[in-house]
Amino acid sequence: PAEIRLEDYRPSAYAIDKVDLDIRLAPKAAKVRARLSVNRRDGTAPGTPLVLDGDDLKLVGLKLDDVVLGADAFEATPDRLEIVAPPADPFMLEIVTELDPDANSKLMGLYRSSDTYCTQCEAEGFRRITYFLDRPDVLSVYTTRIEARRTEAPVLLGNGNLTATGDVPGTDRHFAVWHDPHPKPSYLFAMVAGDLALVEDSFTTASGREVKLGIYVEHGNEERCGWAMDCLKRSMRWDEEAFGLEYDLDVFNIVAVSDFNMGAMENKGLNIFNDKYVLADPDTATDQDYANIEGVIAHEYFHNWTGNRITCRDWFQLCLKEGLTVFRDQEFSSDQRSRPVKRISDVRLLKSHQFPEDAGPLAHPVRPRLYQEINNFYTATVYEKGAEVVRMLKTFLGDEAFAAGMALYFRRHDGEATTIEAFLSCFAESSGQDLTQFALWYEQAGTPVIDVDSRYDAGTRQFVMHIRQQVPPTPRQPEKQPMAIPLRIGLVGPNGEDLEYGGIGGVDVEGDVLRIAEAEHKIVISDVAVKPIPSLLRNFSAPVLLESNLGEDDLLFLARHDRDPFNRWQALQTVALQALIAGASAAVEGRTPDADPQLIEAFASVAGDESLDPAFRALALQLPGEADIAREIGSDVDPDAVAAARNHLRRTTADSLRSTFRRQFEALRDGENYSPSAAQAGIRALRNTLLEYLAHATGGAEGDLVRKHFEAADNMTDRYAALNMIVHAGLEGRDAALSRFYDRHRNHALAIDKWFTVQATAGHADTLDKIRALTAHPAFSFGNPNRVRALIGAFATGNQTQFNRIDGAGFDFVADTVLALDERNPQVAARLLSAFRSWRALEPVRRAAAERALRKVEAKQNLSRDVQDIVSRSLQ
Ligand code: B3K
Ligand code: ZN
Q: Is the dihedral of CA 105, 108, 114, 118 positive or negative?
A: negative
Q: Please identify which of the residues 218, 300, 626, 632 carries the catalytic annotation.
A: 300
Q: Which atom of ligand 1 is the closest one to the Cα of 263?
A: 8
> Distance, CA 126 to ligand 2 centroid (Å)?
18
Q: How far apart are alpha carbons 314 and 793 in whole angstroms?
A: 30
Q: How far is the CA of 599 from the centre of ligand 1 (A)?
A: 42
Residue 328 to residue 310: CA distance in whole angstroms:
15
> Which residue, 502, 469, 497, is CA-closest to 483?
469
Phi/psi of residue 783, nearest 5 degrees = -85, -15
Instruction: Report the separation in Å between the CA atom of 187 and the middle of ligand 2, taken as the mean of its atom positions.
Output: 13
For the segment 245-280, what is each residue's pLDDT rounded down to a tens digit?
999 999 999 999 999 999 999 999 999 999 999 999
Give the three-class secondary structure for 324: helix
Q: Tens of pLDDT along 675-707? A: 999 999 999 999 999 999 999 999 999 999 999
Domains in the chain, please, with CATH? 1-104+135-193 (2.60.40.1730), 311-443 (1.10.390.10), 449-542 (2.60.40.1840), 746-876 (1.25.50.10)
List the residue whose alpha carbon is closest to atom 8 of ligand 1: 265
For residues 624 and 605, give the distance between their C-alpha atoms in angstroms, rounded to a whole number.
18
pLDDT score for 688: 98
Contact 464, 523 (CB under 8 A): yes
Q: Which residues pair with 143 in a beta bridge?
A: 20, 179
What per-residue confidence (pLDDT) applies to 595?
87
Phi-psi region of 160 (alpha: psi -120 to 50; beta: other; left: phi over 0): left
Pairing of strands 417-418, 311-312: parallel
Q: What is the pLDDT of residues 637-658, one digit of tens each?
A: 999 999 999 999 999 999 999 9
In this structure, what are the phi and psi dihedrals at residue 763, rounded to the nearest 5 degrees?
Answer: -85, 50
Task: For residues 32 and 34, give the distance between their C-alpha atoms in angstroms, rounded to a whole number.
Answer: 6
User: pTM score, two decimals?
Assistant: 0.99
Residues with CB under 5 A from ligand 2 (ion): 322, 325
The Cα–Cα gap between 577 and 86 comes to 65
CB 693 within 8 A of CB 725: no
Is 152 catalytic? The answer is no
- Give the phi and the psi of residue 582 in degrees, each rounded to 5: -60, -40
Which has the closest alpha carbon to 300: 281, 274, 282?
A: 274
* CA angle (96, 97, 98) in 5-degree steps: 130
Kindly list the averaged pLDDT for each block of 10 residues, start to end, along the chain of length 876.
94 98 98 99 98 98 98 98 98 98 98 97 99 99 99 98 98 98 99 98 98 98 98 98 98 98 98 98 98 98 99 99 99 97 98 98 98 98 99 97 98 98 98 98 98 98 98 98 98 98 96 97 98 98 98 98 98 98 98 94 97 98 98 98 98 97 96 94 98 96 97 98 98 98 98 99 98 98 98 98 98 98 98 98 98 98 98 97
3-state secondary structure of 31: strand
* Ligand 1, CB within 6 Å, residue ranges: 122-123, 262, 264-266, 299-300, 303, 322, 375, 378
